Chains A and B, each alone.
Chain A
Amino acid sequence: MNNVFIHAAGLILSGNREVYFIAFTSLKFAVSSTTISTAFAVPLGIVLSFNSFTGKRFIVIILNSLMALPTVVIGLLLYSLLSRSGPLGNFRLLFTPMAVIIGQSILSFPIITSFVYSALAKTDAELPETLETLGAGALEKNLMIIRESRAAVLSAILSGFGRVIGEVGVSMMLGGNIRWYTRTITTTIALETSKGEFELALALGLILIIISFVVNFSLHMGIRNET
């Protein structure tokens, strides 16, 4: 097994073009999808945190259930929607990067929403009223609430990011693991493992760990330095 590790390290250090392309593809998908779901999840999390209305509890339960949904199930549901013979087939999205990004957005949406909701539910109820009384409009108020709870919101977003960068079901089923196109770290690991080729799989696994560490570390340091 030692040889495998040396080989894996060699693949990373020698700047193997395909290894880096795959890592970059994973990063692109995860960043794009997390950004999209954040744009919807954070406002919804805020609405859930600072309002009471009928059906709110139901929404929270649904979101929590969706968090536990296996990625292949979401992949399968979306496959049947996006397939050419499915209802959304005309958009020709299946096996494209956009399909993966959509799938991953849906995957991270409930996590980010729920985490933002539970984080903000703990912040003071005084905050929104203070902003209102000082004359903040809806958008300004939300921006300030996010700013005031940025550490919690950030870790919610990072949880969403973590879920998508490490998932294989959606990427495989909606992206099709197409080389130089939709092949990501996780689909490559799945493919290479099935071929019995562990070097590339391991190299990419290491890169995945490094990406997660760097992303988490830099964002947390950013927050810390600011306050």
Chain B
Amino acid sequence: MKVSFYYPFRIYSFIPHGMKKNLTILLLIVISAAGFGYAGGQREQKPRLRLATTTSTENSGLLGSLIPAFEAKTGIKVDVIAVGTGKAITLGENGDVDVIMVHARGREDRFVKEGYGVNRRNLMHNDFVILGPKNDPAGIKGLTSAVEALRKISTSKSNFISRGDDSGTNIKENHLWKEAGIVPSGKWYKEAGQGMGAVIIMANDLKGYTLSDRGTYLSMKDKIDIGILVEGDPELYNPYGVIAVNPTRHKHINYEGAMTFITYITSKEGQDVIRNYRKNGKQLFYPDVFK
């Protein structure tokens, strides 16, 4: 019969000596000491700066050159949160990051117009390309119009892998379908909901087409059979912008850090880092401030 009630949190002044031998308890104490010691040990002088950016800049490895150079110069530690452009903008709207670096011009302008962001700067650009299998069932190789290429893919019902994740690339792709007057649907159109790298691998495996930024494609070129079929259309221009989150909306924002960052990457020095970044010997991004 379980009727008595007792309280586990009542503190008694002594612990039985029998516990001294108890390995389990001892282990727990050691483990917790380690855990809390660690949690208390994370302190820095300057506030950390939070940058939400797109997976393409992170995956391309550009940030691996840009961030250490910035940190070395200013002493500000940067936390990079790499997500899709849509999510990065949402993080900015919620005040969860201090600065965003994205590629979807229309959304960026709305972000600023609605008062979430301030001091937008053009940063750099590269371009999108349409990738596809060598046998090219839709027959798009060499076309100069991306919209025309998508129309052909759609009519031939060839596999097309979409990011489907509200990333900058996905936003661009949706824009192109809209231009073509097509609402893509059917078995041939596959929304992956994954990052650029994973989508390129899917397209490669399914011998399908996809829209990719040139940087990610170049970084994966050696591992895949699909290649560039359409490029150079002005529609495929892919500009990146950098925007500080509005400090009047969120008082915790590290606005000073954000502006230091924006100033740095739009300076001659920062732009040179972008220009000089190479992956497999190829330039991936083209600075827009100091051309």
| Contact surface of A with B, Cβ cutoff 8 Å | 28, 31-32, 34-36, 38-39, 43-44, 46-47, 50-53, 83-86, 89-90, 92, 94-98, 101, 125, 128-129, 132, 137-144, 146-147, 150, 153-154, 176-179, 181-182, 191, 193-197, 219, 222-223, 225-226
**11 A–B contacts from the bound complex (CB under 8 Å):** A32-B32, A35-B28, A35-B36, A38-B28, A39-B32, A95-B50, A140-B12, A144-B16, A150-B24, A177-B81, A223-B24
Q: Which residues of A contact B195 (CB under 8 A)?
A: 191, 194-195
Q: Which residues of A contact B7 (CB under 8 A)?
A: 138
Interface centre among B5, B10, B24, B93 (most CB of A within 10 A): B24
Contact: A52 with B3, CB < 8 Å?
Answer: yes
| Contact surface of B with A, Cβ cutoff 8 Å | 1-12, 15-16, 18-19, 21-25, 27-28, 31-32, 34-36, 38-39, 42, 50, 55, 59, 79-82, 93-97, 194-198, 200-201, 220, 223, 250, 252
Contact: A43 with B250, CB < 8 Å?
Answer: no
Q: Which residues of B contact A46 (CB under 8 A)?
A: 8
Secondary structure dominating the interface of A: helix
CA distance A195 to B50 in the complex (A): 22
Contact of B201 among A95, A125, A140, A196 (CB under 8 A): A196
Contact: B197 with A196, CB < 8 Å?
Answer: yes
CA distance A128 to B8 in the complex (A): 12
Closest CB-CB distance, A74 to chain B, in whole Å? 18
Contact: A139 with B12, CB < 8 Å?
Answer: yes
Q: Which residues of B contact A32 (CB under 8 A)?
A: 32, 35-36, 38-39
Cβ-closest chain B residue relative to A44: B8
Contact: B2 with A125, CB < 8 Å?
Answer: yes
